[in-house]
Amino acid sequence: MVEAGMDTSVSVPPCEACEVVTVPTRQGLEAVDILRRGAGEGVGSVLHDDGCDTLGFLVPPGTAAAWDVPGSTCTETDGRGLRVVPEPQPPVEGSDWLLPPGEADLATDPAVLRAALGEAARLIRAADSCR
Protein backbone atom coordinates (compact mmCIF):
# COMPACT_ATOMS: atom_id res chain seq x y z
CA MET A 1 0.00 0.00 0.00
CA VAL A 2 1.33 3.43 -0.86
CA GLU A 3 0.08 6.32 1.19
CA ALA A 4 1.38 9.89 1.05
CA GLY A 5 4.30 8.71 -1.04
CA MET A 6 5.34 6.01 1.45
CA ASP A 7 5.48 2.31 0.61
CA THR A 8 4.02 0.51 3.64
CA SER A 9 3.85 -2.96 2.12
CA VAL A 10 5.58 -5.85 3.86
CA SER A 11 8.43 -7.37 1.91
CA VAL A 12 9.33 -10.98 2.69
CA PRO A 13 12.61 -12.17 1.18
CA PRO A 14 12.39 -15.32 -0.93
CA CYS A 15 13.52 -18.57 0.67
CA GLU A 16 15.90 -19.95 -1.93
CA ALA A 17 16.48 -23.30 -0.23
CA CYS A 18 13.77 -23.90 2.36
CA GLU A 19 13.20 -27.49 3.34
CA VAL A 20 9.84 -28.97 4.31
CA VAL A 21 8.96 -30.95 7.44
CA THR A 22 5.87 -33.05 6.67
CA VAL A 23 3.62 -34.34 9.46
CA PRO A 24 0.11 -35.83 9.73
CA THR A 25 -2.53 -33.09 9.69
CA ARG A 26 -3.82 -33.66 13.23
CA GLN A 27 -0.37 -33.38 14.79
CA GLY A 28 0.52 -30.46 12.54
CA LEU A 29 -2.58 -28.46 13.45
CA GLU A 30 -1.89 -29.04 17.15
CA ALA A 31 1.70 -27.88 16.61
CA VAL A 32 0.51 -24.74 14.77
CA ASP A 33 -1.76 -23.92 17.74
CA ILE A 34 1.10 -24.49 20.19
CA LEU A 35 3.46 -22.31 18.17
CA ARG A 36 0.94 -19.50 17.76
CA ARG A 37 0.16 -19.48 21.51
CA GLY A 38 3.81 -19.56 22.57
CA ALA A 39 5.95 -16.65 23.51
CA GLY A 40 9.01 -16.05 21.41
CA GLU A 41 9.59 -17.80 18.10
CA GLY A 42 6.47 -18.07 15.96
CA VAL A 43 5.33 -20.46 13.32
CA GLY A 44 6.58 -20.00 9.77
CA SER A 45 4.78 -20.65 6.52
CA VAL A 46 2.78 -23.89 6.43
CA LEU A 47 1.39 -25.86 3.47
CA HIS A 48 -1.36 -28.48 3.42
CA ASP A 49 -1.95 -31.05 0.74
CA ASP A 50 -5.20 -31.05 -1.22
CA GLY A 51 -6.33 -34.25 0.53
CA CYS A 52 -5.70 -32.59 3.92
CA ASP A 53 -3.64 -35.62 5.01
CA THR A 54 -0.44 -33.73 5.80
CA LEU A 55 0.94 -30.34 6.72
CA GLY A 56 4.33 -29.09 5.58
CA PHE A 57 6.29 -26.64 7.73
CA LEU A 58 8.93 -24.60 5.90
CA VAL A 59 12.23 -24.80 7.76
CA PRO A 60 15.69 -23.36 7.04
CA PRO A 61 18.11 -25.20 4.76
CA GLY A 62 20.21 -27.85 6.47
CA THR A 63 17.40 -29.03 8.76
CA ALA A 64 16.94 -32.41 7.04
CA ALA A 65 20.48 -33.52 7.86
CA ALA A 66 19.65 -33.73 11.59
CA TRP A 67 15.87 -34.23 11.54
CA ASP A 68 14.90 -37.17 13.76
CA VAL A 69 11.32 -36.63 14.90
CA PRO A 70 9.29 -39.87 14.70
CA GLY A 71 6.20 -39.66 12.51
CA SER A 72 7.56 -36.83 10.39
CA THR A 73 9.93 -36.37 7.49
CA CYS A 74 12.11 -33.49 6.40
CA THR A 75 12.70 -33.15 2.69
CA GLU A 76 15.92 -31.57 1.43
CA THR A 77 15.79 -29.31 -1.57
CA ASP A 78 19.08 -30.74 -2.89
CA GLY A 79 20.00 -27.31 -4.18
CA ARG A 80 16.84 -27.11 -6.29
CA GLY A 81 15.89 -23.99 -4.36
CA LEU A 82 12.28 -24.22 -3.26
CA ARG A 83 11.49 -20.61 -4.03
CA VAL A 84 8.91 -19.09 -1.73
CA VAL A 85 7.76 -15.56 -2.33
CA PRO A 86 4.74 -13.78 -0.86
CA GLU A 87 2.34 -14.76 -3.63
CA PRO A 88 -1.02 -16.49 -3.36
CA GLN A 89 0.21 -19.58 -5.24
CA PRO A 90 1.87 -22.35 -3.16
CA PRO A 91 5.28 -23.56 -4.34
CA VAL A 92 4.26 -27.23 -4.56
CA GLU A 93 1.61 -28.54 -6.96
CA GLY A 94 -1.31 -30.23 -5.16
CA SER A 95 -0.96 -28.06 -2.06
CA ASP A 96 -2.27 -24.82 -0.63
CA TRP A 97 -1.20 -22.43 2.11
CA LEU A 98 -2.46 -22.84 5.66
CA LEU A 99 -0.19 -19.96 6.72
CA PRO A 100 1.17 -18.16 3.66
CA PRO A 101 4.36 -16.10 3.55
CA GLY A 102 3.57 -12.58 4.65
CA GLU A 103 1.08 -13.77 7.30
CA ALA A 104 3.71 -15.80 9.15
CA ASP A 105 7.47 -15.91 9.54
CA LEU A 106 9.03 -17.40 6.43
CA ALA A 107 10.47 -20.52 8.11
CA THR A 108 9.94 -22.15 11.50
CA ASP A 109 12.96 -22.66 13.74
CA PRO A 110 13.62 -26.45 13.71
CA ALA A 111 14.23 -26.68 17.47
CA VAL A 112 11.00 -24.83 18.21
CA LEU A 113 9.11 -27.03 15.72
CA ARG A 114 10.60 -30.21 17.23
CA ALA A 115 9.38 -29.18 20.71
CA ALA A 116 5.90 -28.24 19.42
CA LEU A 117 5.53 -31.54 17.53
CA GLY A 118 6.53 -33.46 20.67
CA GLU A 119 3.99 -31.58 22.76
CA ALA A 120 1.34 -32.10 20.08
CA ALA A 121 2.00 -35.86 20.03
CA ARG A 122 1.65 -36.00 23.82
CA LEU A 123 -1.63 -34.04 23.72
CA ILE A 124 -3.03 -36.34 21.02
CA ARG A 125 -2.04 -39.49 22.98
CA ALA A 126 -3.66 -38.08 26.13
CA ALA A 127 -6.86 -37.16 24.28
CA ASP A 128 -7.06 -40.54 22.59
CA SER A 129 -6.53 -42.41 25.86
CA CYS A 130 -9.58 -40.65 27.38
CA ARG A 131 -11.97 -42.19 24.88
Measured torsion, CA atoms of residues 23, 74, 111, 97, in degrees rounded to the nearest 10: -60
Q: How many residues does the chain have?
A: 131
pTM of the model: 0.78
What would the pLDDT profile of 25-37 be if each residue is shown by its tens digit?
999 999 999 999 8
Burial of 63 from C-beta contacts in 10 A (0-12 / 13-18 / 19+): buried
pLDDT in tens, 71-117: 999 998 765 555 555 555 555 667 788 888 877 778 899 999 999 99
